[in-house]
Amino acid sequence: MITFFSDQQALHRDVKEVLSGELVPSFEVAQRTDIVLKAIEVRGLGPVMMPMHFDSDVVLGVHDPDYVTFLRTAWDEWQSTFPGTTQAMPYCFPVRGFRSVCPAHIEGRLGYYSSDLTAAIMAGTWKAVWASVECALSGQQQIVAGEKSVFSLCRPPGHHDGRDQMGGYCYLNNAAIAAQAYRDSGCQRVAILDVDYHHGNGTQSIFYDRADVLFTSIHADPAWDYPHYLGYQDEIGAGDGKGVNLNLPLPLNSTWADYEPALLAALERIARFRPDVLVVSLGLDSYEHDPISSFKLDAEKYTFMGQRIAELGLPTQFVFEGGYAVDALGTNTVNVLEGFQQH
């Protein structure tokens, strides 16, 4: 299986986030991809390739052009306003009762385009974000060219990012960009399976009223965990997309005994949708020792997960999302990919 990765992705690093009321080092660290790359090498998964280069217009099928421009220019504008600072982070948001207006000042626009305090912008953020997108698009092109599976080692991740909003460590939605690229290349139906511990609220919002992209997600009950305001079972899509969105929230502390039936239900729904291709938002934070999740999956279960996904018999692109137990992240990631390949 080919893996796409760029060294540029490490330029977004040493970020801080607000967690439990404190400003702390982010759990989304550059070492996450280092340890996955090492596991890929040690276990002989396949070649690691640099992504191809793409123009920024390719993401406008899912992202607002003003938002993309903001991401590209925000750091320079922040530095001209607040010279000497190390990261840009919002402090106010257009919450209930406020107008949804994009302000002129950089602080106001940060809040307008952010959903939380986990996606700060730094000097290298845009280059890293764009390299991550290029990994997703390069993987998509490999599948279109005839590969049966590919791994886009995207970092920063993307599934919390909506059409014009960053959050949850995410800036541009790699999986959604890949899905739209499949549609643009002639695929009639695309399915997305999100197995991250946290609901892929950004991906859902992008495709919620569309019938051509099925979104399925297995995640922690948002009543009790992030992102809290989307991911409930009664969210089934709207308009043309009604019935084309499947959320399978699970209780905190769920084990494989809870998880596997949800996975099989998601795969059964995907099979009935009869897509041309499958995009898997591959989050590994359902692991039993992940520092910001409560699920109890052990390393062996990720092999089973890959095997189950392979049973669909679909061309499949894996797009890296979350997973913050860094020491185990390489093993867990490659277990999914090997399980898929060995089926």
CB atoms within 10 A of CB 103: 14
Beta strand extents in 225-324 (DSSP E only): 245-250, 277-282, 316-320
**Residue percentage of the chain with pLDDT more than 70:** 100
Q: Considering the domain boundaries, does residue 312 fall inside one?
A: yes
> Do strands 277-282 and 149-152 pair parallel, antiparallel, or not at all (unpaired)?
unpaired
Measured from the Cβ of residue 38, the count of other Cβ atoms closer than 10 Å reads 12
- As a whole number, mean pLDDT of residues 13-37 equals 95
Q: Which two tokens stand for residue 233?
A: 């079972």
Is 80 part of any domain?
A: no
For residue 41, pLDDT beyond 90: yes
- Low-confidence winner among 90-94, 155-159, 168-172 (lowest mean pLDDT): 90-94
Q: What is the mean pLDDT of residues 122-150?
A: 98
- The amino acid at residue 317 is Q
* Backbone angles phi and psi of 166, in degrees to 5: -105, 160
Query: For residue 204, which amino acid is it?
Result: Q
60, 67 in Cβ contact below 8 A? no
pLDDT digit string, tens, across residues 221-260:
999 999 999 999 999 999 999 999 999 999 999 999 999 9
Q: Total structural domains in the chain?
A: 1
Give domain status of residue 328, yes or no. Answer: yes
Q: What is the pTM of this model?
A: 0.97
Q: If we measure between CA atoms, which residue out of 165, 154, 164 comes closest to residue 130? A: 154
Domain residues for the domain of 238 are 2-63+124-342
Q: For residue 163, tell me if it sits in a domain.
A: yes
Query: Domain for residue 12, yes or no?
Result: yes
* Of 150, 75, 138, 62, residue with least CA distance to 106: 75
Q: Which amino acid is at 85?
A: T
pLDDT at residue number 96: 92
Q: Which of 12, 160, 199, 219 is catalytic?
A: 160
Does the residue 159 lie in any domain? yes
The one-letter amino acid at 273 = F
Q: Is residue 37 a part of any domain in this protein?
A: yes
Look up the CATH number of the domain holding residue 135: 3.40.800.20
Q: Using CA atoms, how far apart are residues 152 and 158, in angstroms rounded to an integer?
A: 12
CA distances from 81 to 14, 119, 122 (A): 21, 19, 14
Residue 232 lies in a domain: yes
**Residue 160 annotated to the active site:** yes
Q: What is the pLDDT of residue 61?
A: 96
Residue in this structure with the two tokens 């990765």, named with its chain if needed = 5
d(CA 285, CA 2) in angstroms, rounded, equals 23
- Residue 309 makes CB contacts below 8 A (sequence gap 6+) with 193, 267, 278, 280, 316, 336, 340
Q: Is the pLDDT of residue 205 over 90?
A: yes
pLDDT band at 343 (very low <50, low <70, confident <90, very high): confident
